[in-house]
Amino acid sequence: MNIEKGLDKVVKTIRVMITDQPGFLGKLTTAIGSEGGNIGDVRLMRSGLTHNVREITVYVDSDQHLERILQAVGQVDGVTIEEVIDRVQKVHEGGKIAVRSRVELETIGDVRKIYTPGVASICRQIQKQPELAQRYTAISNSVAIITNGTAILGLGDIGPVAGMPVMEGKSVLFDKLVGISGIPILLDSKDPSQIVETICRIAPTFGAIKLEDIAAPDCFEIERRLVERLDMPIMHDDQHGTAVVVLAALLNVTRFTSTRLQNATVGIIGLGAAGTGIAKLLMAYGIKQVLGTDLSAAAMAMHEENGGVATDLVGLMERSPIVVATTGCPGLIKPEMVQPGQVILALSNPDAEIKPQQALEAGASFAADGKSINNALAFPGIFRGALNARACRINNRMLIAAAKVIAQYAEDGELVPGILNAEVHTAVADAVAQAARVSGAVKHQL
């Protein structure tokens, strides 16, 4: 089974001026097809007496592939290329988020209510009863999305500013999926002590802290120290959000195969933030045999300290019916390594350790990549539930509750549901809030 929804393609839009006579549009599409371009939408933008302008969406494999298509189109009589539009770049221009007011501001009376002098009475009330900030400010619905840019997607240490588009994307998902205000915070530091101190000082602004794309091993220390110092939900998404969705997928794998997950042997290739987070949650769920491999001896030692078994890549592939890879190394898993009936979750983005189709052709029974097994299925509902319950931390019972709900919402034959299924995020939030209350993660019961 392959739950990948589409091919890895680059989307471009070609704007062309075409002679407005029969056959010219056909010549254009034929030229695109002759170079292997897959045509999507064709839109008429404007018409003239002798020519019209159309935008044609084309799916290509690479910039080089696009160049071949443009050369073919350029040779078609009656067709002139006006512009090549990158829709991904267009949607990012100006940024993807903004801070907007929730109240009207039309009269001087409105100003006096939301600012001085009216706001003074609200400030005095919060001074006397600090818990009223939950009612009268945006703090209770705000999550800081904090990165230092040292582990952005599969791109590595590209710096905090280059990672900002990812943080904005997380903010959009928070807003659209669960109504949370996610505020990106970029930290120009690789010193764990500086990072912890900075976050602790800005923490009163937020209801929760979401750590994002911070490289291992610093991410483990940073999260641990923040949890010790701050009485609020804190989660490193690369560890725990990814782990939740992997657990959800594996719950469905074992349901399809009528096996007991706790008795399965799971192999984790890559023991960085994601791999270690996955291993720890799987062991917390009760899986007894979690193999792990990494180029770092320190990471292997940490895996064993956490209760896992360290091995090499070959041994792991031979001994693990279920394999989860989070290395950031495209092509690391060769087709000949795949065992018959194996489950392969190759999760590195943007390029997986092995493409799902390759794994299936090599004999895997299930295969997926990070486009479907994506932490965006988990983090919105987890934080929504933690904020709703006014939890003071996020624990394993909350994470496992989230995974179980995500698994339940997968469609027949799929490992996980779609990211844009709003019911999933609502149900995850409810389950997480309930688990927070039952597990004692709520300091003051609502």
**What is the sign, positive or negative, of the torsion defined by CA atoms of 11, 15, 16, 22?**
positive
Measured between alpha carbons, how far is 245 from 256 in angstroms, rounded to an integer? 17
Burial (CB < 10 A; 0-12, 13-18, 19+), residue 365, is middle
Of 115, 176, 334, 443, which is the active-site residue?
Answer: 115
List the Cα angle 367/372/373 in 5-degree steps.
Answer: 80
**Beta-carbon neighbour count of residue 198 at 10 Å?**
17
State the pairing for strand pair 265-269/234-236: unpaired
3-state secondary structure (DSSP) of residue 46: strand
Of 12, 96, 113, 170, which is the active-site residue?
Answer: 170
For residue 299, which of 340, 327, 257, 266 has the smallest C-alpha distance?
A: 327
How far is C-alpha 317 from the geometric centre of its chain's CA atoms? 26
216: left (phi over 0), alpha (psi -120 to 50) or beta: beta
Active-site annotation holds for 115: yes
3-state secondary structure (DSSP) of residue 98: coil
Measured between alpha carbons, how far is 136 from 355 in angstroms, rounded to an integer? 49
Catalytic amino acids?
115, 170
